[in-house]
C-alpha cells in the first residue's frame, strides 16, 4: 500500500511582491493626497522586506494601505507582512520597514503539528526545516487535514506544496 504526502509551507512569491510594490508606487505617484509627501517604497529582495519613506507618519500609513491592497490583489496575504515601528529620520522624514515572512518558525510548525494531532486523523506530521510534512495512507485524510489547517486561525499564511 502506498502512502501520500504533502508539505505545509509559508512562502511569499517575491516576484508578485515586486509587481505589487511597483503598482503601489504608480498609484502613490498619482494620488492627490500624497502629493509633496516625498513618499518612496523600496523592495529589498535579499532581506525579504520593503521600506516606506515619507515626510510624515500619516503618509506612511496611507502608502502602506495602498501596498497592502496591491499585495492582496496579487494573492499575498497581509498575514505575511510583519510591520516594524515607524522610525524618525532627520527633520520630518520617517521610515517603516515591513518584513515579508518566509518559512515556518519552530513555534508555527509546532502549532500546525499539534493542530493535526488534535484532529485525530490517520496522518502523521513531522517538522522538516521550515515546513511541516504530512503523510498518510488515504488522500481523503490528507484533504481533511488541509481543510482543518487552512480553516484554523493561525495568524500566518499557509500554502500546500508537493502534494503526491
Q: What CATH number should be reported for the domain holding residue 138?
A: 3.30.70.860
Dihedral class, residue 90 (left if φ above 0, else alpha if ψ from -120 to 50, else beta)? beta
CATH of the domain at 22: 3.30.70.990
pLDDT at 162 over 80: no
Which element (helix H / strand E) includes 106? helix 106-118
Domain count, the chain: 2
Same domain, 115 and 151: yes
Same domain, 94 and 22: yes
Same domain, 32 and 91: yes
Same domain, 30 and 93: yes
82 within 8 A of 48, measured Cβ to Cβ: no
Same domain, 135 and 151: yes
Same domain, 33 and 85: yes
> Range of 129's domain?
4-11+103-161
Q: What DSSP designation does 3 have?
A: -
* Cell of residue 124, nine digits: 502523521
- pLDDT digits 0-9 by tens, 40-75: 889 898 888 999 999 988 889 899 999 999 999 988
pTM beyond 0.85: the answer is no
Q: Which of 106, 54, 60, 58 is nearest to 83 (CA)?
A: 60
Mean pLDDT of the chain: 84
Q: Which of 79, 100, 121 finishes a domain?
A: 100
C-alpha distances out from residue 100 to 28, 79, 89, 126, Å: 21, 9, 23, 25
Amino acid at each position: 500500500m502506498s502512502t501520500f504526502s504533502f508539505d505545509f509551507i509559508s512562502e511569499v512569491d517575491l516576484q508578485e511582491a515586486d509587481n505589487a510594490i511597483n503598482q503601489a508606487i504608480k498609484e502613490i505617484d498619482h494620488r492627490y493626497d500624497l502629493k509633496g509627501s516625498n513618499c518612496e517604497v523600496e523592495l529589498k529582495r535579499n532581506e525579504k522586506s520593503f521600506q516606506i519613506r515619507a515626510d510624515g507618519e500619516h503618509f506612511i500609513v496611507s502608502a502602506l494601505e495602498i501596498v497592502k491592497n496591491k499585495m492582496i490583489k496579487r494573492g499575498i496575504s497581509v498575514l505575511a507582512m510583519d510591520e516594524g515601528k515607524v522610525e524618525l529620520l532627520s527633520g520630518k522624514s520617517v521610515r517603516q520597514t515591513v518584513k515579508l515572512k518566509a518559512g515556518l518558525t519552530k513555534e508555527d510548525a509546532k502549532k500546525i503539528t499539534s493542530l493535526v494531532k488534535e484532529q485525530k486523523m490517520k496522518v502523521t506530521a513531522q517538522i522538516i526545516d521550515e515546513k511541516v510534512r504530512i503523510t498518510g495512507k488515504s488522500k481523503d485524510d490528507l484533504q481533511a487535514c488541509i481543510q482543518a489547517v487552512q480553516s484554523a486561525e493561525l495568524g500566518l499564511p499557509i500554502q500546500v506544496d508537493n502534494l503526491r
